[in-house]
Amino acid sequence: MSRVLIIGCGGVASVAIQKCCQVSEVFTEICIASRTRSKCEKLAAELAPRTATKITTAQVDADQVEQVIDLIRSWQPDLVMNLALPYQDLTIMDACLACGVNYMDTANYEPEDTDDPRWREIYEKRCKEAGFSAYFDYSWQWAYRKKFEEAGLTALLGCGFDPGVTQAYCAYAKKHEFDSIDTIDILDCNGGDHGYAFATNFNPEVNLREVSAPGSYWEAGRWIEVPAMSIRREYEFDQVGKKDMYLLHHEEIESLAVNIPEVKRIRFFMTFGQSYLNHMRCLEDVGMLSTSPVEFEGHQIVPVKFLKALLPDPAGLGARTKGKTNIGCIFTGRKDNQEKTYYIYNICDHQECFREVGSQAVSYTTGVPAMCGALMLLSGKWNKPGVYTVEEFDPDPFLEALDKYGLPRRENHSPVLVD
Ligand code: NDP
């Protein structure tokens, strides 16, 4: 019996909400709150006839801490799921602390305004000290550890697929397969085709910021940064086939390097088609990916936000997307003094996701882990005071929940390695 406040009603949230409604014995009441309330009401009306979960809706601007506090105080949830954007992570964490409620999200904090001089000063110092230049990093949310510990509350960070399930795979490998892990390669393959020359599979602004940034990986205790898309590999993915993949910076590398300190190298690769890359380079070259406002015919516009308005809505790609995703981790290391390799991954079919929840697999592979993470917090399996990433918890009940609710794991004990 629990009451869960879900903030955001986009592609990821709509999957997570539908999955919560499939587990109505745990999620007895949910409140869907977002900036645009009509989207929440539409989804609530669709779901009401087919779930025992009682659904209410609310309007909230989660950039405003006071609004989130008022909503939490009036609705009294047991857990707040932040499925809006990374820009709202800190305001929602502040509101949870003010009201004494557990918190979770699917992506680590980054600011909406990267020109903010107060943020920029800290960012530039971090770039120099840490050695990577992504706009997002864990330092902002790790700074809340003591506050959550003292309040006896849990904050679960980054509980989507990657970050999220990929870290549970690492914790599982460490617990069951290895005495020590030497290398981790996280491989994110989307073999889906939506038929558009260019579209992003989740929020375009967040997605394009991520993939147009320099790549980086962790090796021998330090970050190595390389130009965007400059490291390419080809890999034959189970049930998808051969794909080009490119090394990216990705947030889970940062926490894994801390939490599995013996690992000598951690890399993250994502597949991209040529059409996507050509469009992205062109948009970047003409300045369309910029987050800084420009003056246009008397109006201030942010180029990447304008681009978002032109691109297909990721939440609407489901009907057109065919093919599969294949996301997982390849490990090398030692067990009982023997060298070994291990690959754990999930395959998800875009059309099956669409039939079940009306979404494509990228939203599905994020929304299902968010629901399963909430399940871990609500059932007391993952509760400890403080701020944690997924690999810091027991992976077994989480992976069992994923097996049950739509993202079953697969294993290979002699995978082809990435050179
Ligand atoms: P969408 O853009 O589809 O949805 C975002 C939602 O948040 C919208 O409903 C939007 O409302 C709402 N929102 C935005 N700003 C505010 C605000 N100030 N107050 C209240 N609500 C707000 O994004 P996605 O669903 O694609 O992504 C959701 C999150 O999941 C992102 O943080 C993304 O980075 C993360 N993600 C994580 C992945 C993982 O594997 N870990 C993979 C993919 C995504 P409105 O409709 O008014 O715009």
pLDDT per residue over 253-272, tens digit each? 999 999 999 999 999 999 99
Closest residue by Cα to residue 258 from 159, 417, 142 = 142
- Asked whether residue 3 is assigned to any structural domain, the reply reads no
Query: Which of 84, 32, 21 lies closest to 59 in space, CA to CA?
Result: 32
For the segment 301-334, what is each residue's pLDDT rounded down to a tens digit? Answer: 999 999 999 999 887 888 999 999 999 999 999 9
Q: If 0-12 CB within 10 Å is exposed, 13-18 middle and 19+ buried, where does residue 139 land?
A: middle
CA 128 distance to own-chain centroid: 26
Q: Is the Cβ atom of 162 under 6 angstroms away from ligand 1?
A: yes
How far is the CA of 224 from the CAs of 216, 266, 337, in angstroms?
5, 11, 30
In this predicted model, what pLDDT tens digit does every residue of 36-58 receive, in sequence order? 999 999 999 999 999 999 999 99
Domain of residue 340, residue span: 165-351
Across the range 239-244, mean pLDDT stands at 97
Is pTM beyond 0.85 here? Answer: yes
Mean pLDDT for the stretch of residues 280-287: 92
Has residue 294 been placed in a domain? yes
Please give the tally of structural domains in the chain.
Answer: 1
* Closest ligand 1 atom, residue 13 Cα: 25
Task: Answer yes or no: is the C-beta of 315 below 6 A from any ligand 1 atom.
Answer: yes
Which ligand 1 atom lies nearest to the CA of residue 315? 3
Closest C-alpha residue for ligand 1 atom 39 = 160
Q: Residue 291: what pLDDT? A: 85
Whether 8 maps to a domain, the answer reads no
Gap between the Cα atoms of 326 and 269, Å rounded: 12
Q: What is the pLDDT of residue 313?
A: 87
Band the pLDDT of 114: cuts 50, 70, 90: confident
Residue nearest to atom 8 of ligand 1 (CA): 10
Query: Is 305 a domain residue?
Result: yes
- Helices and strands, counts by H and E, the chain: 15, 18
Cα 115 from chain centroid?
A: 24
E-strand ranges in 72-179 read 79-82, 102-105, 154-157
- Residue 114 counted as domain residue: no
Q: With respect to residue 235, please indicate whether it lies within any of the assigned structural domains.
A: yes
How far away, in angstroms, is 33 Cα from ligand 1 center? 12
For ligand 1, whether the C-beta of 62 sits within 6 Å is: yes
pLDDT at 297 over 80: yes
What's the CATH number where 343 sits? Answer: 3.30.360.10
**Domain membership flag for residue 380:** no
Query: Does residue 89 register a pLDDT over 80?
Result: yes
Mean confidence (pLDDT) of the chain: 95
82: CA distance to ligand 1 center in Å?
9
Is any atom of ligand 1 closer than 6 Å to the C-beta of 250?
no
pLDDT in tens, 184-205: 999 999 999 999 989 998 888 8
For residue 413, being part of any structural domain is answered with no
Going from the Cα of 221 to the center of ligand 1, the distance in angstroms, rounded, reads 33
366 Cβ below 6 A of ligand 1:
yes
